[in-house]
A and B are shown apart, each in its own frame.
Chain A
Amino acid sequence: MTASQQYNERLERRRRKGLVFSVLLFLATTSGLVVLVTLIVDVVVQGAQWLDWEFLTRFPSRIPENAGIKSAIVGSLWMILLTAAISVPIGVASALYLEEYAPRGWLLKIIQININNLAGIPSVVYGILGLTLFVRFFALGRSLLAGALTMALLILPIIVISAQEALRAIPEGIRESAFALGATRRQVVWSHLLPMSAPSIMTGVILALSRAIGETAPLIMIGALTFIAFLPTSALDPFTVLPIQIFNWTARPQADFQGLAAAGIIILMVVLFLMNLSAILLRNYFEKYRAR
């Protein structure tokens, strides 16, 4: 056998190996999506029969047929609004300080490393912090405010990191030309940087909030109740939220309650889908707007 024959034979083998490998790669990539689709179909099939107007407008009940998710929906709305009101100003202000004010040096580096590490701390640990600091030390009790403060700390790193990226995307020339006209740093921030970065900051904020709306563990830690047959009227009231209601129903052994859980999951996923959609639309709209 000549060398070139050997080569050809081996090339054939190498090509076949490549083909097998690429099929494997494709299958692996789609397997994640297959699970995603299975999950969604399963939830819809299990939950659809429980989903009606009554389900949305009733309070939880020990009898599955009478159970609804009203207090959880209202609680989630409260939670998101409060969390946003606390975390967005602090997060954007942190990003402004780190990007525009802070002197470059070891302190900035430490804060930055710290923020990156905070983003990786398990959410249940934030729950321990919330339980000790807000519920017990500040004596806020198992209230909406204690929950929102905990959630705000949890999503703060996400907001800071995305706002920093938004600020970094603004060309240096914008700042320099404003400074050249005699603007102070504060004026540059208010008149140029914030309005220009607002759309991408908003996108990051919505994505961070959609993380908060699905979080369960920290709120269980601070003791959010699962059986709430009234609507909260102030930030100091006890509450429940969608994920906690879903958790409670899933953990029960009766099949009917698991159907309710699936119906609750449909509501939660629809809310998440709408939030993500609005983030994407917002980004696309402003990208088009800026291109013009």
Chain B
Amino acid sequence: MADSQQISTGAKTGAHADLAVNMLHSPKERAVEYALGFCALVSVLTTLGIAAVLLVESLHFFAEVSIVEFLTETRWTPQFIDKHFGIWPLLSGTLLVTVIAALVALPIGLMSAIFIAEYAPERVRKILKPGLELLAGIPTVVYGYFALTFVTPLLQTFVPGLNIYNALSAGIVVGVMIIPMVSSLSEDAIRAVPRSLAEGAYALGATRIEVVLRVMVPGAVSGIVASFILALSRAIGETMIVTLAAGAMPNLTANPAESVQTMTAFIVNVSLGDTPQGTVEFYSLFAVGLVLFLMTLSMNFLANLIIRRYRERY
């Protein structure tokens, strides 16, 4: 009797509130929520960690080498007795490889995207698309092997005076690696253009190529540009291909037949060699890493911004 009375008063006064407390604020529920939330913070902490490590360790470098020298000097000779730390040779090496990669990947990637999106019948599409995506799944060290032992000897038969380590071979293979990035993102962008626009153009008597070049591609241009930027940022950050095939010579040149060192290859070479920790040569890898990080981060940010814009448009 007493029990049932207690229950009934309970029900009258606050069973609803009890239930709510029970469900949403029980310690166990909260513990789970906080634990999951902490895991979600790991990704934020990773970004902060990368930024902090690069900034703090670069300070050791910039304590000995002025930022002006870093940005204006044209020699990069950390291993020599007469040390110079000018980022330009590494930057030009990176840009040279990236430009060659872009010349390979942007046209081929965009043309593949157009073919897969507009021309290929469903059956062919089902083979081509995963086939191209396989290119993105091949480990970069395998591409590096391919560039050094297959592409370079092949190119040497056409290009006289081609160094064993050269920007051309590395750039071409980096380009092949990023084809799938350009093609799959550009294809998505082309498919996002409303079908009615294409049909309107067909109704006016346009041929297929005219529809593609004058309607679909212009309609998808922001997505295509975003895919270009993402692919190039990937090329800038690519490490193993350039370490194996482009060489280890910081070289301020625009000649693709010469050996160059990219920023990523320099970073790897410092940690491969026996550079003692705590020296200015060792800390220079953080300064180079910081430049690399800022370049790729801003490119990714820009691309994501463009993607978000164009999604809202249609």
A residues near B (Cβ < 8 Å) are 14-15, 17-18, 21-22, 24-26, 28-29, 31-33, 35-36, 38-39, 42-43, 46, 89-91, 93-94, 96-98, 101-102, 110-111, 113-118, 120-129, 131-133, 136, 153, 156-157, 160, 182, 184-186, 189, 210-211, 213-217, 220-221, 223, 243, 246-247, 250-251, 258, 261-262, 265, 268-269, 272, 276
Q: Known contacts A93-B36, A101-B36, A157-B43: does B244 contact A250 (CB below 8 Å)?
A: yes
Residue of A nearest to B48 (CB): A114
Whether B240 sits at the interface, judged by CB under 8 Å, is yes
CB distance from B189 to the nearest CB of A (A): 16
In the complex, chain B residues whose CB is within 8 Å of the CB of A43: 142, 145-146
Q: Per a CB cutoff under 8 Å, which of B28, B47, B176 touches A114?
A: B47
In the complex, chain A residues whose CB is within 8 Å of the CB of B230: 120
CB distance from B268 to the nearest CB of A (A): 6
Q: Per a CB cutoff under 8 Å, which of B23, B47, B131, B137 touches A117?
A: B47
In the complex, chain A residues whose CB is within 8 Å of the CB of B210: 14, 18
Q: Is the Cβ of A124 less than 8 Å from the Cβ of B268?
A: yes
Q: Is the Cβ of A153 less than 8 Å from the Cβ of B46?
A: yes
In the complex, chain B residues whose CB is within 8 Å of the CB of A14: 207, 209-210
Q: Known contacts A26-B119, A102-B37, A113-B304: does B293 contact A125 (CB below 8 Å)?
A: yes
A contact face: mostly helix, strand, loop, or mixed: helix
Q: Is the Cβ of A28 less than 8 Å from the Cβ of B237?
A: no
Q: Is the Cβ of A32 less than 8 Å from the Cβ of B267?
A: no
In the complex, chain A residues whose CB is within 8 Å of the CB of B299: 120
- A15, A35, A98, A156: most-surrounded residue (chain B CB, <10 A): A35
Contact residues, B148-203 vs A (CB, 8 A): 148-150, 176, 179-180, 183
Q: Is the Cβ of B53 less than 8 Å from the Cβ of A221?
A: no
Q: Is the Cβ of A268 less than 8 Å from the Cβ of B142?
A: yes
Whether B54 sits at the interface, judged by CB under 8 Å, is yes
Q: Is the Cβ of A251 less than 8 Å from the Cβ of B244?
A: yes
In the complex, chain A residues whose CB is within 8 Å of the CB of B209: 14, 17-18, 21-22
B residues near A (Cβ < 8 Å) are 23-24, 26, 28-29, 32-33, 35-37, 39-44, 46-47, 49-50, 53-54, 57, 107-108, 111-112, 114-116, 119-120, 128, 131-132, 134-135, 137-146, 148-150, 176, 179-180, 183, 207-210, 230, 233-234, 236-240, 243-244, 264, 267-268, 271-272, 277, 285-286, 289, 292-293, 296-297, 299-301, 304
Q: Known contacts A25-B119, A43-B142: does B108 contact A36 (CB below 8 Å)?
A: no
Q: Is the Cβ of B150 less than 8 Å from the Cβ of A122?
A: no
Give 22 pairs: A residue, B residue, CB < 8 Å, sorted on A: A32-B132, A33-B131, A33-B132, A39-B138, A39-B143, A39-B146, A42-B149, A46-B149, A114-B43, A115-B43, A120-B296, A124-B264, A124-B289, A125-B50, A125-B54, A125-B296, A129-B53, A182-B23, A184-B26, A214-B142, A217-B140, A250-B144
The 5 A-B pairs with the shortest beta carbon distances in the complex, nearest first, are A122-B237, A214-B139, A93-B39, A28-B111, A97-B36
CA distance A113 to B54 in the complex (A): 21
In the complex, chain A residues whose CB is within 8 Å of the CB of B41: 111
CA distance A153 to B148 in the complex (A): 30
CB distance from B53 to the nearest CB of A (A): 5
Q: Is the Cβ of B36 less than 8 Å from the Cβ of A217?
A: no
Q: Per a CB cutoff under 8 Å, which of A131, A182, A216, A269 touches B240?
A: A216
In the complex, chain A residues whose CB is within 8 Å of the CB of B146: 39, 42-43
Residue of B nearest to A91 (CB): B39
CA distance A89 to B289 in the complex (A): 29
Q: Known contacts A122-B264, A123-B239, A128-B53: does B40 contact A102 (CB below 8 Å)?
A: yes
CB distance from A174 to the nearest CB of B (A): 18
Q: Per a CB cutoff under 8 Å, which of B46, B107, B179 touches A118?
A: B46
In the complex, chain B residues whose CB is within 8 Å of the CB of A124: 237, 239, 264, 267-268, 289, 292
Q: Is the Cβ of A36 less than 8 Å from the Cβ of B134?
A: yes
In the complex, chain A residues whose CB is within 8 Å of the CB of B39: 89-91, 93-94, 97
Residue of A nearest to B32 (CB): A186
Q: Is the Cβ of B29 less than 8 Å from the Cβ of A184?
A: yes
Residue of B nearest to A132 (CB): B53
